[in-house]
Amino acid sequence: MQRGTDISRAASILAAGGLVAFPTETVYGLGADAASAAAVARVFAAKGRPRAHPLIVHLPAGARLDDWAVDVPDVASRLATAAWPGPLTLILTKSARVSDAATGGAPTVGLRVPAHPVAQALLAAFGGGIAAPSANRFGAVSPTTADHVAADLGDDVDYILDGGPCDVGVESTIVDLSRGAAVLLRPGGLPRSAIEEIIGGPLVAADAAGLLGGAGGPAPSAPGTLASHYAPDALVLAVPPGELHDAVMIERATRAVAVLAPYSVAAALAAQLQPGAPVDPFRTGGATLVGGVLILPLPDDDAGMARALYGALRDLDAANVDVVIAALPPAVGLGEAVGDRLRRAAGPRRRHP
Ligand code: TXA
Ligand code: MG
- pLDDT tens-digit profile, the chain (353 residues): 899 999 999 999 999 999 999 999 999 999 999 999 999 999 999 999 888 889 999 999 999 999 999 999 999 999 999 999 999 999 999 999 999 989 988 899 999 999 999 999 999 999 999 999 999 998 789 999 999 999 999 999 999 999 999 999 999 999 999 999 999 999 999 999 999 999 999 999 998 766 555 444 444 445 455 555 666 778 999 999 999 999 999 999 999 999 999 999 999 999 999 988 765 555 566 788 899 999 999 999 999 999 999 999 998 888 889 999 999 999 999 999 999 999 999 987 544 33
Q: What is the model's pLDDT at position 105?
A: 86
H/E run at residue 131:
strand 130-132
SS3 (DSSP) at 29: strand
For the CA of 109, the nearest atom of ligand 1: 29
State if residue 133 touches ligand 1 by the CB under 6 angstroms criterion.
yes
Q: How far apart are CA 159 and CA 82, in angstroms?
A: 32
Give every CB contact of residue 117 below 8 A, 6+ residues apart in sequence. 163
pLDDT confidence of residue 218: 47
**CA dist., res. 37 & res. 102, Å (int):** 8
Q: Any idea what DSSP says for residue 330?
A: P
Alpha carbon nearest to ligand 1 atom 17, residue: 224
Q: What's the pLDDT at 216?
A: 46
State whether the beta carbon of 18 lies less than 6 angstroms from ligand 1: no
Atom of ligand 1 nearest to the CA of 30: 6
Long-range pairs, 192-201, Cβ under 8 A, ≥24: 192/336, 193/333, 194/83, 195/79, 195/83, 195/88, 198/78, 198/79, 198/82, 198/83, 199/75, 199/78, 199/79
Residue 141: closest CA among 113, 166, 161, 105: 166
Q: What kind and span of H or E run contains 82?
A: helix 74-83
At 214, phi and psi to the nearest 5?
95, 175
As a whole number of angstroms, the distance between CA 22 and CA 188 comes to: 19
Residue from 57, 174, 212, 230 whose mutation best tests the ligand 1 pocket (most atoms within 8 A of CB): 174
Q: Which atom of ligand 1 is nearest to the CA of 168?
A: 1
173 CB under 6 A from ligand 1? no
Backbone angles phi, psi at 183, to 5 degrees: -105, 130
Angle at 152 between CA 86 and CA 136, to 5 degrees: 35
Q: Is the Cβ atom of 31 under 6 angstroms away from ligand 1?
A: no
In the chain, count of helices (H) and strands (E)? 12, 17
Backbone φ/ψ region at 127: left (φ over 0), alpha (ψ -120 to 50), beta: left
29 lines ligand 1 (CB under 6 A): yes
Residue nearest (by alpha carbon) to ligand 1 atom 6: 29
Residue 219 confidence (pLDDT) = 47
What span, in angstroms and rounded, lies between the C-alpha atoms of 72 and 93? Answer: 8
Give per-residue pLDDT as tens, 85-136: 999 999 999 999 999 989 988 899 999 999 999 999 999 999 999 999 999 9
**92 touches ligand 1 (CB under 6 Å):** no
What's the predicted TM-score (pTM) here?
Answer: 0.94
User: What does the pLDDT read at residue 350?
Assistant: 46
Going by C-alpha positions, the residue among 339, 14, 24, 15 that lies closest to residue 191 is: 339
Q: Of 20, 15, 21, which is closest to residue 35 (Cα–Cα)? A: 15
Residue 134 CA to ligand 2 centre (angstroms): 4
In a mutational test of the pocket of ligand 1, which residue from 89, 148, 175 has the highest number of ligand atoms less than 8 Å from its CB?
89
Cα of 111 to ligand 1 centre, how many Å? 9
- Determine the Cα–Cα distance for residues 75 and 116; give it in Å rounded to an integer: 24
Cβ contact 77:67 at 8 Å: no
- Cβ proximity of 27 and 170 under 8 Å: yes
d(CA 329, CA 131) in angstroms, rounded, equals: 32
